[in-house]
């Protein structure tokens, strides 16, 4: 049958060249000898060069102000790159990808694609600035409210009756939840700005874990949780960490294990070491994580539906922040879980 909707048409090389030149991505091609054999109009415009660069050796790119940056990224062997960011003259941000080109399994050269992400980056920055500004602006009034509620609850301004006390306690709890959210948002902003970790100091990891557990004693008793701390090494060497941040990761994992467990459940916290790493884990017999949600667990603001059903409070930021903290220390974080059976969260921290 004749196909009138998609008539077959093969474009000529000249027409293909026009199309490539009008692309809003920059393209640079190197031949097998790593000589620049093609640069489309968009890339010429970005770097302020013209056809005269054709034929230069990759190493000669250092003689052209814009192209120099691309050379430093590619290296003289032309590394394979996947969306590596490159800032040009503090004005433009490009995502650079590069890979070898093959024709009938013979390498014929290399293609470099330059995608302009300046607009996306500036929108992302505006979003981060907005979150940062709102969180900072909220923190001060929320802290004042906290102070005022504390003053009233401590009966410094007069005796309270039972219903006044209950009401103020509820108000204080809600206010503290808002303060915790503001703190988490400020952490997210810092992570996105890439300035998150404080000073790394040699620290006693076991003591951090014990301190966190101490703060949860009441909750553990209230929920009648069977709680165990298991140590496999006799002596855990001191490790270089940002203590406050690692404390918050340990706290987040233990807090989740408790919140997503039923009364009477079991939680096992363990600390192991191997040759290179300290390995920390928190295992619970709680609600578990549905299979279809497991890929999203470390994403910002993500919460599973079984978790929101059991526990309405939560913002889905804890694990996102924890992952960033652990990876910034050179460690790894992951989990194993089965819905209705329980979860085990693990992280490693390099010993050296």
Minimum CB separation of residue 184 from ligand ADP in Å reads: 8
Query: Of 146 and 315, which has the nearer Cβ to ligand ADP?
Result: 315
Give the residue from 77, 75, 80 showing the smallest Cα distance to 96: 80
Minimum CB separation of residue 285 from ligand ADP in Å reads: 10
- Choosing from 43, 46, 239, 317, the residue that interacts with ligand ADP (CB under 6 A) is 317
Rounded CA separation 256/332 (Å): 18
Rounded CA separation 33/58 (Å): 9
Rounded CA separation 307/316 (Å): 10
Query: Of 239 and 317, which has the nearer Cβ to ligand ADP?
Result: 317
Minimum CB separation of residue 331 from ligand ADP in Å reads: 17
Encode burial over 292-322: b for 16+ CB neighbours within 10 A, e otherwise: ebbeebbeeeebbebbeeeeeebebbbbbbb
189 near ligand ADP, judged by CB under 6 A: no
Rounded CA separation 201/45 (Å): 48
Q: Which helix (H) or strand (E) covers residue 126, if one does? A: helix 118-153
- Choosing from 189, 316, 326, 347, the residue that interacts with ligand ADP (CB under 6 A) is 316
- Choosing from 58, 287, 325, 349, the residue that interacts with ligand ADP (CB under 6 A) is 287
Query: Of 237 and 264, which has the nearer Cβ to ligand ADP?
Result: 264
User: Which residues, listed in sequence order, are joined to residue 30 by a DSSP beta bridge?
Assistant: 36, 110
318 near ligand ADP, judged by CB under 6 A: yes
Rounded CA separation 160/172 (Å): 15
Query: Of 68 and 226, which has the nearer Cβ to ligand ADP?
Result: 226
- Choosing from 285, 324, 343, 348, the residue that interacts with ligand ADP (CB under 6 A) is 343
Structure tokens at 141: 């009034």
Query: Of 36 and 289, which has the nearer Cβ to ligand ADP?
Result: 289
324 near ligand ADP, judged by CB under 6 A: no
Q: Enumerate residues 244-263 that contact ligand ADP by CB under 6 A.
A: 252, 256-257, 260
Residue 207's φ and ψ, nearest 5 degrees, are: -65, -40
- Choosing from 243, 270, 272, 315, the residue that interacts with ligand ADP (CB under 6 A) is 315
The radius of gyration computed from the CA coordinates of the chain, to the nearest angstrom, equals: 28
Terminal Cα-to-Cα distance of the chain (whole angstroms): 70
Minimum CB separation of residue 132 from ligand ADP in Å reads: 20
Binding site for ligand ADP (CB under 6 A): 252, 256-257, 260, 284, 286-289, 297, 302-304, 307, 314-320, 343
């Amino acid at each position: 049958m004749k196909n009138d909707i998609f008539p077959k048409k093969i474009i000529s090389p000249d027409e293909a060249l026009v199309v490539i030149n009008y692309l809003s991505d920059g393209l640079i091609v190197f031949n097998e000898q790593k000589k620049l054999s093609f640069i489309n109009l968009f890339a010429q415009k970005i770097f302020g060069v013209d056809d005269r660069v054709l034929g230069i050796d990759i190493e000669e790119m250092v003689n052209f102000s814009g192209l120099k940056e691309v050379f430093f990224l590619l290296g003289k062997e032309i590394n394979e790159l996947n969306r590596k960011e490159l800032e040009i003259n503090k004005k433009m941000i490009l995502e650079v990808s590069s890979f070898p080109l093959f024709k009938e399994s013979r390498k014929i050269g290399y293609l470099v694609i330059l995608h302009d992400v300046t607009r996306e980056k500036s929108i992302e920055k505006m979003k981060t600035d907005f979150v940062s500004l709102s969180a900072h602006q909220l923190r001060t009034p929320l802290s004042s409210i906290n102070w005022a509620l504390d003053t009233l609850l401590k009966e410094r301004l007069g005796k309270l009756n039972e219903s006044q006390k209950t009401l103020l306690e509820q108000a204080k709890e809600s206010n503290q939840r808002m303060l915790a959210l503001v703190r988490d948002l400020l952490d997210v902003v810092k992570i996105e700005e890439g300035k998150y970790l404080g000073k790394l100091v040699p620290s006693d990891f076991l003591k951090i874990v014990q301190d966190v557990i101490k703060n949860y004693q009441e909750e553990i008793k209230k929920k009648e949780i069977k709680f165990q701390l298991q140590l496999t090494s006799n002596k855990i060497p001191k490790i270089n960490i940002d203590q406050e941040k690692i404390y918050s990761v340990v706290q987040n994992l233990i807090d989740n294990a408790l919140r997503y467990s039923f009364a009477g459940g079991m939680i096992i916290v363990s600390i192991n070491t191997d040759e290179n790493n300290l390995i920390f884990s928190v295992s619970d017999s709680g609600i578990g994580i549905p299979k279809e949600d497991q890929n999203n667990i470390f994403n910002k603001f993500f919460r599973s539906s079984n978790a929101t059903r059991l526990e309405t409070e939560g913002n889905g930021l804890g694990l996102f922040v924890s992952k960033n903290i652990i990876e910034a220390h050179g460690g790894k974080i992951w989990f194993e879980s089965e819905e209705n059976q329980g979860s085990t969260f693990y992280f490693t921290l390099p010993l050296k």
